[in-house]
Structure 1
């Protein structure tokens, strides 16, 4: 596919938890990564506000296994000096092959001069070969991940001989105002199936089950609301004199 990259991401632990269930304090991971989690990993490799990454598919390489770990969390209700003991259910020894591509963000016409396919594609491939520009996290910050260029079909998946595995209702991702023509903050839900270890993702606009959280206005940048760095420096350091 045009402007696409393929890579392998792996780590010792992963926690792709359902945000609806995080209110109780204990976290339990999905069996597989969500679209939004993989998009975040891809954006950690390379991101610019003028482009939007789309995840095409993911391959589950290792057997899905979990490990429950006791975590001491702050007890905010009664006393800040005490802790509660919660159980977090992590995925362990994970490896995924990801195929993604980018398109230009049409909600940012002010960055039209940066719509250069060859430039962004070459930079994305170069920084991927160096492990990405930012730290890679597999769902949460305590789950460190690592990436490298990799052929999507290379190797063998543990689920290679299984035709179809339904995964139930999962969070697909989040619609943010800067990438959503409706200018609202939304959560997408879907029911994926894993076919021979591969999950084929629908595009965000093709997801029909969407819950609107609230309305937001995307901030538009222009010369009227951009402050010169020299003026900002003087405002911070010389205002009190």
Structure 2
């Protein structure tokens, strides 16, 4: 059972993991970022979203931005110690940790994303695909979401709408290119040491076909 949503935003940044100092976005949305959009509308332990196709509806345009960022995070050991002791120093002060970083972002983006879901081993006897399909369709139609959907980073919020089957919408852009190796998702089979997964993304006439996670096209 498949679903389709359109998302639009003024800016987006799907950060390349190999460029850690300065943020540089991939050319288009990654499957993991697309999955998070569906999970923002409906997330349940009993289902797992799978992205099948991405249609790019706006020309790929870039935008340079320099902004202040926090240069440090609270150490995990400090969090664990505070949890154990009931108190601890968990503050980060921007005046001490401020860093200016340049970012190469996407601007004026719009995507039409196709996805389906499968039931997980956490599904109960009362759970069914039809039940979750109705829940998703109802929530997406009303614009309801668990958290505000965003395009790569939380400051780049986006609008979304459900695309019903047979609805006339704008065509994908007339652009074909090899997008190179792109982050597919994270493999959390080992929660302590999750591993990134990649796939070779190719866009034909504005459309990118996304393989399934178990496909040979997805590599660690």
Q: Equivalents in 1 of 2:38, 2:188: separation in Å?
A: 17
Find 1:51's aligned residue among 47, 50, 53. Answer: 47
What is the aligned partner in structure 1 of residue 195 from structure 2? Answer: 186
Q: Equivalents in 2 of 1:146, 1:167: separation in Å?
A: 25
Return the offset for 1:82.
6.0
Q: 1:48-71 CA distances to partner (integer Å, 9 max, x unpaired)? A: 000001111010000000111111
Return the offset for 1:176.
2.0
Return the offset for 1:167.
0.5
* 1:13–1:93 CA contact under 8 A, matched in 2: yes
What is the aligned partner in structure 2 of residue 105 from structure 1? Answer: 120
**1:9 maps to 2:24:** no
What is the aligned partner in structure 1 of residue 59 from structure 2? Answer: 63
Q: Tell me, what secondary structure is at the counterpart of 2:214?
A: helix
Q: Equivalents in 1 of 2:98, 2:194: separation in Å?
A: 33
Q: Tell me, what secondary structure is at the counterpart of 2:14?
A: coil
* 1:15–1:140 CA contact under 8 A, matched in 2: yes
**Aligned-pair Cα RMSD in Å:** 2.3
Return the offset for 1:131.
1.9
Stretches (4+) displaced over 3 A: 207-211
The number of residue pairs the alignment matches comes to 196
* 1:36–1:172 CA contact under 8 A, matched in 2: yes
Return the offset for 1:17.
0.6
Q: Which has the higher contact order (CA 8 A, sep 6+)?
A: 2
Return the offset for 1:209.
5.3
Call closer, same or farther: CA 1:116–1:21 in 2, change over 3 Å: same
What is the aligned partner in structure 2 of residue 130 from structure 1? Answer: 142
TM-score by length of 1: 0.74
What is the aligned partner in structure 2 of residue 81 from structure 1? Answer: 96
List gaps (5 residues or longer) in structure 2. 73-93
Return the offset for 1:114.
4.1
Call closer, same or farther: CA 1:114–1:66 in 2, change over 3 Å: farther
Q: 1:163-201 CA distances to partner (integer Å, 9 max, x unpaired)? A: x41101111111223xx8x99722111111001100000
Larger Rg: 1
